[in-house]
Amino acid sequence: MQVAARRRPFPAAAPGSPQPAGPLYPGRHGAVKNEDTFKTSPFHLDLWFYFTLQNWVLDFGRPIAMIILPLEWFPLNKPSAGDYFHMAYNVITPFLLLKLIERSPKTLPRSMVYVSIIMFVMGASIHLVGDSVNHRLIFSGYQHHLSVRENPIIKNLKPETLIDSFELLYYYDEYLGHSMWYIPFFLILFIYFTGCFTPVEEESRMPVPALLLMGPSSLYYWYLVTEGQIFILYIFTFFAMMALVMHQKRKGLVLDSNGLFLFYSFIVTLVLIAVWVVWLWNDKILRKKYPGVIYIPEPWAFYTLHMNNLHAAKESF
């Protein structure tokens, strides 16, 4: 009678020794990419183009669409065209950010990415409501270069507790909404940036389409930082990028085309912010609204202060 051969068990690994590779020893978090292979990712022309286009149309263009389109099409007690732009932005931007993370040649912390995306959608949605009301107040004479209590249409409200309600709305729009929107946004960009390194020097250059997209991308980041009043967040993200670049350079790693595009866009953004601040340095009215060491006026505050007056002067003639 033939006795079935007993299977010999694999010897246990010694304490502290690395687990052998293979399907019998899966990683604690499932199948992951090999971090040591340094796969090179080509320039994501489609994603960066869609990203820049929707930023300009759906974010920068939403208040412009609200002002240009006839008021009869979108009454003040109904959502405006800009609100629908904002709704589309809240859906498309998280999708593009997730696709960007998926194309990273490096395994990135998924839990942090998912939590950041959730916070991003929450913050952008809070901002949608506050920004919708604040921009519609322009039609009633609200002036963004003044504080809430200094606005003529606000300070005469009765009872005075209504002013507190408008200040609460402003807080949700400009502080809470912006923080929950922009902190996850820049965090995701930085997480993606950590995977944009390669040991191949020849792959550390930007193609022509990247150079063409860098201008519009940098200009949008300038608008994002100035209008969102998030210079501290932006500059800390930029410094973290610089520190990471210098750290990886010591290991013989350089930025690939996607990393260069993001890094150079941030550099150009810093130059644009500096030019903007120097240009409006002696503006006494804007200085009053933006006191303190960091003086970076909002573009829409500049518009309601100077451009509205210019339009009124032209109409009077």
The domain spans of the chain are 42-195, 206-300
Greatest Cα pair distance in the chain: 113
CB distance 131 to 173 below 8 Å: yes
Residue 294 φ/ψ, nearest 5 degrees = -90, 110
pLDDT value of residue 144: 74
82-115 in b/e burial notation, b at 16+ Cβ within 10 A?
bbebbbebbebbbebbeebbeebbbeeeeeebee
CB distance 173 to 137 below 8 Å: no
pLDDT value of residue 39: 60
CB distance 186 to 102 below 8 Å: no
CB contact set of 38 (below 8 Å; sequence gap of 6+): 105, 197, 198, 199, 253
CB distance 161 to 115 below 8 Å: no
- Condensed to tens digits (0 to 9), the pLDDT of residues 76-116 reads 888 888 899 999 999 999 999 999 999 988 888 889 999 99
**The residue to which tokens 């990471």 are assigned:** 244
Asked if the bond preceding 159 is cis, omega within 30° of 0, the reply is yes
Q: Which residues of the chain have pLDDT under 70?
A: 1-40, 308-317
pLDDT value of residue 5: 46
- Condensed to tens digits (0 to 9), the pLDDT of residues 1-30 reads 444 444 444 454 445 444 444 443 344 443
Measure the CA–CA gap between 18 and 47, rounded to whole angstroms.
38
Measure the CA–CA gap between 187 and 233, rounded to whole angstroms.
10
Residue 262 exposed, middle or buried by CB count within 10 Å (0-12, 13-18, 19+): buried
